[in-house]
Amino acid sequence: MWDYTPIVKDHFLNPRNVGDIPDADAIGEVGSLACGDALKLYLKLDENKDKIVDAKFQTFGCASAIASSSALTEMVKGKTLDEALAVSNQDIADFLGGLPEEKMHCSVMGQEALEVAIFKYRGMDIPEHDSEHDHGHAYPDYEGEIVCKCFGITDTFLKKVIETNRLTTSEQVTNFTKAGGACGGCIPKIKDLIAQVLGEAAAQPRVRPEKLSNMKKMQLIQEVLERDIRPLLWADGGDLELIDIDGTKVQVAFRKACAGCASSGNTARMVEAKLRDLVAEDIVVEEVFA
């Protein structure tokens, strides 16, 4: 049995705002019968066409899909369109007191329907949605190369979800978007996308501190390893462990796919370069076999 919070249960058993709005200003439709979940969101705006005065939904899906839709409609009522666009899938999950990670894609579907509705209302180009036959989610503004053929999900959309939710493993991407959850053929591609996004994040300029106490330096080394280096290795099925820090000498042991990998020497140099870049330029990384 899923471990749903009382709020999820309440919104599933007593969903708010089920139905349609015949004279809706904006409608967003995502998902399909084939995918196993789908959501049609209706928004009614005030006379200035700025503020959402009513929201209703129809959802085909599991308990958390229904609860996410219900939560979404409650959250956006009273918001301006710009404020509504700022609602993230994590906000929806938070509103519900959290969702099991395997069910995060339900919150993503909610956020997606909201974007489709607003983008369409604003006259932006949205691919036609064919809910009966098309596996495809009609992602607003996320045209790109289809990565997951089973669920019809593009690289642009995946990169956005990876980035906003700071995902580091392909399992997480599957939980959040379903991509890779059926035949699994696109999992290597998803790992590439994670590496790309993490690479881009890491490429953003970070300033190396001028002077560091030993304690601060050790902290920073650990932080860089956790935040900047291990996720990159995870994407390739590898990992490393920090063994010891002795002055400027950092000892690491490679794990999983990195252990015994012929190019682990190169990986060690990559780690060293990153640490020199972000912590101190005299750092030496040593691979140990602990």
Partner 1 sequence: MTEIYLDNNATTKVDEAVFEEMRPYFCELYGNPSSMHFFGGQVQSKVNEARVRVADLLGALPDEIIFTACGTESDNAAIRSALEVFPERRHIITSRVEHPAVLTQCRNLTQKGYRVTEIGVDGAGRLDMNELRAAVDTDTAIVSLMWANNETGVIFPVEEAAALAKSKGALFHSDAVQAIGKIPINMAASSIDMLSLSGHKLHAPKGIGVLYLRRGTPFRPFLVGGHQEKSRRAGTENAAAIIALGKACQLAAQHMEAENTGVKALRDRLQDTLMAAIPHARINGGGAERLPNTTSIAFEFVEGEAILLLLSEFGICASSGSACTSGSLEPSHVLRAMGVPFTCAHGSIRFSLSRFTTDAEVDTVIREMPPIIARLRQMSPFGREHLKGQA
- Residues with Cβ within 8 Å of 60's Cβ and at least 6 positions away in sequence, in order, are 31, 33, 37, 38, 39
Q: In the chain, what is the straight-line distance between the N-terminal and C-terminal CA atoms, in Å?
A: 40
| Active-site residue, selected from the candidate residues 35, 148, 186, 258 | 35
Shortest CB 73 distance to partner 1, Å: 12
Verify binding: residue 16, partner 1, rule CB under 8 A: no
Answer yes or no: are the C-beta atoms of 143 and 158 closer than 8 Å: no
Helix (H) or strand (E) holding 187: helix 187-203
Considering only the stretches 8-16, 152-160, 200-208, 212-220, report the one whose residues sit in contact with partner 1 under the rule CB under 8 A.
8-16
Answer yes or no: are the C-beta atoms of 142 and 68 closer than 8 Å: no
Residue among 151, 159, 124 at smallest CA distance from 140: 124
Verify binding: residue 201, partner 1, rule CB under 8 A: no
Binding to partner 1 (CB under 8 A): which residues in 21-80? 29, 33-40, 58-63, 65-66
Binding to partner 1 (CB under 8 A): which residues in 261-290? none
- Give the dihedral of Cα atoms 223, 290, 257, 171; nearest 10 deg: -50
Answer yes or no: 35 catalytic.
Answer: yes
Nearer to partner 1, 81 or 104 (CB): 104
- By CB atoms closer than 10 A (0-12, 13-18, 19+), residue 226 is exposed
Binding mask 96-115 for partner 1 (x = CB under 8 A): ------xx------------
Near partner 1 by CB under 8 A: residue from 13, 124, 273, 288: 13
Residues that bind partner 1 (CB under 8 A): 2, 12-13, 15, 18, 29, 33-40, 58-63, 65-66, 102-103, 131, 150-151, 174, 178, 181-182
